[in-house]
Structure 1
Amino acid sequence: MQQLFQNAQIAQPDGTLLAVDILVTDGIIEKFSPARGEPAPAGVVATDLHGLFVMPGGVDGHVHFDDPGFTEREDFGTGTMGAAAGGVTTIVDMPCTSLPPVTTPDNFKTKMKAVESKAYVDYAFWGGTTPTFIDSGAFRRLLPELKELGVVGIKAYTISGMQTYPRLDTRQMVMLFEAARDFNMLVAVHAEDYFLATYYTDKIIREGRSDPLAYKDGRTYDAEPLAVSTVLALARREHTRVHIVHMSTSAGVDLVRQAKGQGIDATAETCPHYLLLNREDFVRLGSLAKCTPPLRDRYDNEVLWAGLLDGTIDYVATDHAAGIYPREKVTDNIWNAYAGMPGVQLRVSLMLHEACTVRGMNLYRFGEIMSTNPAKRLGLFPRKGMLAVGSDADFACIDPKAPMTVHAEDLYAKNKYTPFEGRELRGAVRQTYVRGNQVYDSSGKFPAGAGYGKFIKAV
């Protein structure tokens, strides 16, 4: 089938917009031509985009959709509906918040069977491993098997609150990095030092504190740069490709910048909440804004922005991880609250407003941090993350000037809450297309339906 998407505005590298028509054949971009307003050729299905800004479909490289196993928090249906409504056409689900975790080929297949009929957008998986598999040596058999199945890489924790997915100690991390190098696999690390965070958390609990800043002070600032430093040192020594997830501290940014300057194959992501929220918001919002790592200080916001603008931070993900609302998110005792929040639906609008409208980032660069860079790092490029001949026809169609106000009730997440409630933004997603088919329109419809989304194998 041939489709012609007419009157699209696409960004050029200098940030200017070019009016084009996009010819799509069987879900693949075939040709760009200047928009002339002429009728489509016979047999070609025409869609007029009326001058909307069309960016590469968003790629959210870090979500927890909890399916199977924890679907009272989120599932692949509600999670990918939110993605579609937010201009995200590909999500990459973490291995750790499902049962069983994606650590073996059999577990991978269980996951696939559970989610494949639910997805509204395309998806990929992170794989994982455990201390038991490393100590037994089984991980050297399992990692290449997971790679063959198409995972984007392996996720590891230096500190973990999940019994089913424990942290790796430094010795086990070295062994993982050696194997990942041998099999040419990317390792993503949640980097907070276990001993520092545990020591200060236990100390503050003994002191009887349960206010929001007790959690921030316990999950001490220095835990992140200490762990990041260790991870980068191992990456340098073992020549391993490494990715730091949800960077939250200015010190972490400095370490990644230095590592890149030394030629270490390291990338980093951050999240909208680490760019837009800080300790003042944590005090104001309490448990609703609890996340891991915790929100930091206003200074960290600004250094993270600087790192994103200069390329030290490669892209923006959400770490979408919804707790059961209100049971897990409304409490006066911060230690009892679930650490996480939904985010996939708001990522594009939040970032478009702050990065482009407020801070002057050009729209081409915006497409890089939201789509192209994660697709490249995670082995999904050039099929995903780019408007180019031969790429999938994945589009987020946006009115950059349209006002919108964030309301939790408008989220498709199973648990409807957000620390951005009431925030006024400029820039709204109007339509989303995956492989040429419309998966969302601004009237709240999902024309392609559940099960349209397909698994994308990393290369």
Structure 2
Amino acid sequence: MTYDLLVRGGRVVVAGDQRVADVGVLDGAVVAIERDLAGAAREEVDATGCVVLPGAVDAHVHLNDPGRSDWEGFATGTAALSAGGTTTAIDMPLNAIPPTLDGASFALKVAAAEGVARVDVALWGGLVPGDLDRLDELADAGVVGFKAFMSGSGVAEFEAADDLTLLEGMARAARLGLPVAVHAESDALTSRLAARAVAAGRTSMRDYLASRPVVAELEAIGRAIAFAAETGCALHVVHVSSGRGVALVAEARARGIDVTCETCPHYLVLDEDDAQRLGAAAKCAPPLRPAVEVEALWDRVLARDVDLIATDHSPSPAALKDTRDDAFAAWGGIPGAQTLTALVYDKGVVARGLALERLGMLVAGMPALRFGLAPAKGAIAVGADADLTILDPAQSWTVERDALLDRHKLSPFVGMALRGRVVRTVLRGETIARDGQVVGAPLGRVLRRR
């Protein structure tokens, strides 16, 4: 047989296991996974000594096109994603102008991505106060689900969902068979704590951290779970920052509620001391937590209570981070498109013994399954898209700002030494990035939920 691509001799993460094998690709799909495959290929890649993972499915990115491409855009954001081993990204509905709130704005987002995206892209729709019929439009267009904020989103165009909007929106989403993802922080707590601090002139990073305590996350998660139980809606809690928050989700799931959660590399790698050291570069919401919370979160990852890990890549121009001593005024978002797989490999697999097959599920398998992109995405399997991340576990490297491909290169991970580097990313059988650089023309497609 003649293949389009043969990846030979790597440790392939497949079907909850790992084994040394060759991966044969034809017409963009995996057609064989066996040791010492016979036959020739248009292209052969020697992956001896490397780990071959399913291409990462980053379920939480803010690419901001159209309307805020000066913050980020499909071209630059997906270049960074591809260099880091991501082959599919799910773009959030806010930050673009207009936000993705109906069929027309979905079409604008598709037009902005076509011809420039270097990875495949799926889209979240927005759940905001207003006409719930727009959710039907978005479902028909092909969104993977609906995103709602239980506190301010940070942009005027995307209003937070009050309790009635969230409850009724979840009921509509349940009828449509789509999940609702929530940013779970209590606005009643965080907004008043922030206002009190600013009024008193307390605007340092330490003051910002204190204004968004863990209890604000716990209260909102509990409320969202109650709404999901009442409506029968599938619930996904984004960027959970605490082990206690994950525990609430795990306990609800044990009671039969359809709820999952994600965390992000920055909550697993950085803590509140890093926030105070780095300043606005490490500002996010929920904020970074004390070191003890970081370890509690890792405990939940290792216990398999965390369903997936996503970047929440949320870039902005440098001017929005340069707010001198006012942490409240700085944009709250951490860019991380290029470092997802490497960070989880180093801090999880190398440092804590996380199994390779579990890494594959956290960054690829579970997001594809939860958000309707499987079986084409999320696994190395016969018939699936040939989306592969090849990682060299022997390479030690340091994250350097000049090597980042997102628009503003403001990553708080710059200077971090890591073990294990993504050396090649393959999308539907075509190499799209090699050794940190993009390769060839953009091949990304816009995906609709299956």
TM-score category (smaller protein) = over 0.9
Q: Distance in 1 between matches of 2:16 and 2:387?
A: 22
Provide the aligned length of Structure 1 versus Structure 2. Answer: 446
- Paired residue type of 1:454: R
Cα deviation for residue 283 of structure 1 reads 1.3
Question: Retained in 1: the 8 A contact 2:422–2:436?
Answer: no
Aligned match of 2:239 in 246, 269, 294? 246
Distance in 2 of aligned mates of 1:286 and 1:4: 46
Structure 1 residue 23: deviation in Å? 1.7
Per-residue CA shift, 1:83-127, capped at 9, x if unaligned?
110000000000011011111111100111112121001110001
Query: Which residue, out of 137, 141, 144, partners 2:136?
Result: 144
Indicate whether 1:45 and 2:46 are aligned: no
Distance, in Å, in 2 between the alignment partners of 1:443 and 1:72 is 23
Separation of aligned partners in 2, 1:31 and 1:50: 16
Q: What's the TM-score, normalizing by structure 2? A: 0.96
Q: How far off its partner does 1:443 sit?
A: 6.1
Q: Is 259-268 or 415-424 further displaced after alignment? A: 415-424
- Which deviations, in whole Å up to 9, do the C-alpha atoms of 1:41-79 show, x marking residues without a partner? 3xx313122312110000100000111111111110010
Residue matched to 1:136: none
Aligned twin of 2:86 = 88
Residues 25-44 of structure 1: matches in 2 within 5 Å?
A: 25-35=26-36, 40-41=39-40, 44=41
Counterpart-to-counterpart distance in 1, 2:23 and 2:281: 43
In structure 2, what is the equivalent of residue 102 of structure 1?
Answer: 100
2:105 maps to a residue whose letter is N
What are the equivalent positions in structure 2 for 1:5-20 lying under 5 Å apart?
A: 5-11=7-13, 17-20=18-21
Work out whether residues 82 and 438 of structure 2, in 8 Å CA contact, stay in contact via their aligned partners in 1.
no
Structure 1 position 260, deviation (Å)? 1.1
Look up the SS of the partner of 2:396 in the other structure.
Answer: strand
Residue number among 260, 263, 268 corresponding to 1:270 in the alignment: 263
Q: Of 147, 150, 164, which residue of structure 2 is paired with 1:158?
A: 150
Match of 2:123 in 1: 125
From 386, 391, 396, the counterpart of 1:393: 386
Give the % identical residues.
35
Deviation at 1:14, TM superposition (A): 7.3
Q: CA deviation at 1:330?
A: 5.6
Counterparts of 1:215-230 in structure 2 under 5 Å? 215-230=208-223
Give the gaps of 5 or more residues in structure 2: none
C-alpha separation between the residues in 1 aligned to 2:54 and 2:308?
Answer: 14
Kindly report which structure 2 residues correspond to 1:276-295, keeping only aligned pairs within 5 A, or say none. 276-295=269-288
Opposite residue 283 of structure 1, the aligned amino acid is Q
Cα distance in 1 for partners of 2:211, 2:236 equals: 25
Q: 1:5 touches 1:47 (CA, 8 Å); kept in 2? A: yes
CA RMSD of aligned residues (A): 1.5
**In the alignment, does 2:372 pair up with 1:370?**
no
Q: Which of 306, 331, 335 in structure 2 is aligned with 1:342?
A: 335
User: What is the DSSP-based 3-state SS (H/G/I as helix, E as strand, rest coil) of the residue aligned with 1:404?
Assistant: strand
Q: Does 1:425 align with 2:418?
A: yes
Partner amino acid, structure 2, of 1:152: V
Corresponding residue SS for 1:131:
coil
Give the secondary structure class of the aligned counterpart of 1:81.
helix
- Distance between the aligned counterparts of 1:326 and 1:162, measured in 2? 16
Classify the secondary structure of the residue corresponding to 1:311.
coil
Per-residue deviation, 1:6: 2.2
SS, match of residue 439 in structure 1: strand
Q: Are residue 409 (structure 1) and residue 402 (structure 2) matched?
A: yes
Q: Show CA shifts across 1:363-415 (max 9, x none).
A: 11110101001111111011000000110000001101210101122110100
